[in-house]
Structure 1
Amino acid sequence: MDTVVRHSPSTQPGTPDVWGIYEPDTGSIQYLVADPKTSEAALIDVVQDFDPRSGRTQFTSADKVLELAREEKLKIVWVLDTHPHADHFMASHYLKEKLGVPNAIGAKVTDIAELWRGYYHLPESFAPHEDFERLFAEGDSFRIGELDVKVWLSPGHTLGSITYLVGDAAFVHDTFMYPDSGTARADFPGGSASELWDSLQRILSLPDATRLFNGHDYCKDGREPMWEATVAEHKAKNIHLSGDISKEQYLELREERDATLALPDRMLHALQVNLRAGQLPEPEADGHRYLKIPLNRF
């Protein structure tokens, strides 16, 4: 499948233009979010390409997103991620260096780093406070042009996932899937189906017209990739949440589903890169870079 790009225009003053850029290898959605008044913009969850069979990395996907920004005459002022991704390498450091703008992620990435230092037996590795210029906590805010952006901690998928609220748009990462696919898994280290439920309910408390932009889509039943739906649409149609489902029923559904899922094929590669903002490990004595894969831990 080719890269799919879709524009969700600003709905009224104070709301953003949003472009979703679908990355087919991992089913990830990358976002370009812009203030239509000033043309300042942010990038969210942009992908660094990685082939787990050959170990090759490149920035083709990230460069396509930058080309779209140039075509739309946008000035990128932030490089944002919602969490350390398990299924793709992030392009945060590459974009920060290329554009000369700050990169950011949630503050609890430091707790995730501590967790994975143990899994990788790399006690001196990972310094998120050095590799990200801003670590956002619950309730923090910043601006994209004249648009206010609020940060919500939205744990469940990971213990440190955050949501970005920009006008009538919410970038809800791996909480919701598209309504016909339900919600995201919560079985990774530090994840919690109970916390995910609470995060989902908080997001659903936003106004019904709020545009929710999720982090992944796997093209259910062969349909085109989809990633935008309103709060009202999720309330009415989300297969895991619509109706009068209770928290207890949701937890049973989510945990039974998660028990059937394999780990993403890039997960053990990706976390040690993404906890460095997408930087590869330093070269060893032979000039090459190497990843460390824990065996028989999962």
Structure 2
Amino acid sequence: MSAIPHAVDLQTRPEVTAFFDAATNTVSYVVRDPASSACAIVDSVMDIDYAAGRIAYESADEIAAFVTAQGLKVEWLIETHVHADHLSGAPYLQKKLGGKIGIGENITIVQETFGKVFNEGTEFQRDGSQFDRLFKDGDTYRIGGLTAFAMHTPGHTPACMTHVIGDAAFVGDTLFMPDGGSARADFPGGDARTLHRSICRVLALPGETRLFMCHDYGPNGRDIRWETTVAEQRAHNIHVRDGITEDEFVKMRQARDATLDMPRLIIPSLQVNMKAGELPKPDESGKRFLKVPINGL
């Protein structure tokens, strides 16, 4: 297992409240400093009825209502990566609750790639400036009295980061629950071997570290779950438990990815999320439009 950039504070246990969005099987989190009212929101969701072209905010409003009811102060809105299966609710929540929007510094690679795919033109800045903070590997930040640090864990996408806050780590799509395995690695900029090495970094955290997933699909009909531990993953993950070699993982991951369909919301999600969750600007009539590249992804 690879080294990690900072010691994990297993004595500090942030309060974690999960919000499950059934439409996209996404889990968002409010992470609270137990010694203050400070919190962070991780991987929020903006609702979309893709067929009707309608945006709504029920999922984000549920989080906002919780934050308000608890008297919390939002300091960060964290995106673990540029999601391809749901739209981010971060800018909506920022307007209501405050906080800074942060993502991994390799968002610039994602912006360069998909800026071309969606023909965004020269007005689209590909420097990550739409976000308030671009995290580098090992960067730290504060949530009240908590010190959090970001680990670069690419492979699913180039910009994927795992955020470690006290004894809790928010892994994005790098890992699923042990019976779900691992994320796909066939998106532009993804790589199965890189993903395996990133997973090894996560699983080098202390065994008691709580791991929080960004998605769960209830394999084999079980109830939805989103929390596990490093020790449980190392013992039972169907793709990357101890004893499975990197070459075995890469062979499995590449074969599995070749059978997967593209996510249902990949086209709107990438266009919006690479711009920090902001919707396209309205045209002269006040209408907003998303693009569908033909044979472009």
* More contact order relative to length (CA 8 Å, sep ≥ 6): 2
Preserved contact between residue 152 and residue 164 of structure 1 (Cα < 8 Å): yes
1-side partners of 2:278 and 2:59: how far apart? 16
- The equivalent of 2:210 in structure 1 is 211
Q: Take 1:57 and 1:71, find their aligned partners in 2: how far apart are those partners? A: 25
C-alpha separation between the residues in 2 aligned to 1:71 and 1:256? 47
Q: In 1, distance between residues paired with 2:101 and 2:296?
A: 31
Q: CA deviation at 1:52?
A: 1.2
The amino acid that maps onto 1:26 is T
Structure 2: how far apart are the matches of 1:210 and 1:86? Answer: 27
Give aligned pairs, total.
Answer: 288
How much does 1:279 deviate?
1.0
C-alpha separation between the residues in 2 aligned to 1:101 and 1:178?
29
Q: Which runs of 4+ in 1 moved over 4 A?
A: none
Q: Aligned match of 1:111 in 109, 112, 129?
A: 109
Question: 1:92 — aligned with what?
Answer: 90
The aligned residue for residue 8 of structure 1 is none
Q: Does 1:196 align with 2:195?
A: yes
Deviation at 1:121, TM superposition (A): 1.8
In the aligned structure 2, how far is the partner of 1:75 from the partner of 1:128?
29
- Give the match for residue 19 of structure 2: 21
Letter in structure 2 aligned against 1:133: D
Corresponding residue number in structure 2 for 1:49: 47
Q: CA deviation at 1:276?
A: 1.3
SS of aligned partner of 1:173: coil
The CA distance in 1 between the partners of 2:185 and 2:270, in whole Å, is 16
Between 174-183 and 234-243, the greater mean CA deviation after superposition: 234-243
- The 8 Å contact of residues 107 and 136 in structure 1, kept in 2 or not, is answered as yes
Matches for 1:5-84 after TM superposition, within 5 Å: 13-84=11-82
Residue of structure 2 in register with 1:236 after alignment:
235
Shift in alpha-carbon separation, 1:12–1:192, aligned structure 2, 3 A: closer
CA distance in 2, matches of 1:286, 1:75: 37
3-state secondary structure, aligned to 1:234? helix
1:215-262 deviations in whole A, cap 9, x for unaligned?
100111222110110000001111112241110000001111111100
Separation in 1, partners of 2:128, 2:181? 34
Note closer, same or farther for the CA distance 1:128–1:276 as it changes in structure 2 (3 Å cut).
farther
- Residue 19 of structure 2 aligns with an amino acid whose one-letter code is I
Asked whether the 8 Å contact 2:14–2:31 carries over to 1, the reply is: yes
Secondary structure at the aligned position of 2:259 is classed as coil
Structure 2 unaligned blocks of 5 or more: 1-8
Identity %: 41
- TM-score normalised by the chain length of structure 2: 0.94
- Please give the TM-score of this superposition, normalised by the length of structure 1: 0.93
Residue 140 of structure 1 is matched in structure 2 by: 139
**1-structure distance, mates of 2:98, 2:127:** 18
Following superposition, the deviation at residue 19 of structure 1 comes to 1.0
Of stretches 153-162 and 238-247 in structure 1, the one that deviates more from structure 2 is 238-247
Distance 1:205 1:179, change over 3 A: same
Aligned equivalent of 1:161: 160
Partner-residue secondary structure (3-state), 2:162: strand
Matching of residue 122 in structure 1 with residue 120 in structure 2:
yes
- Name the aligned partner's letter for residue 218 of structure 1: Y
The Cα RMSD (Å) is 1.4
**TM-superposition CA deviations, 1:8-58 (whole Å, max 9, x none):** xxx975221111111100000101101111121000000000111111111
Once residues 126 and 268 of structure 1 are traced to their aligned partners in structure 2, the CA distance between those partners, rounded to angstroms, is 19
Question: Which ranges of structure 1 fall in alignment gaps of 5 or more residues?
Answer: 1-10
- Taking the aligned partners of 1:245 and 1:103, their CA distance within structure 2 comes to 36
Query: Does residue 296 in structure 1 map to residue 295 in structure 2?
Result: yes
After TM superposition, the structure 1 = structure 2 runs for residues 180-195 of structure 1, keeping only pairs within 5 Å, are 180-195=179-194
Distance in 2, matches of 1:174 and 1:12, equals 23
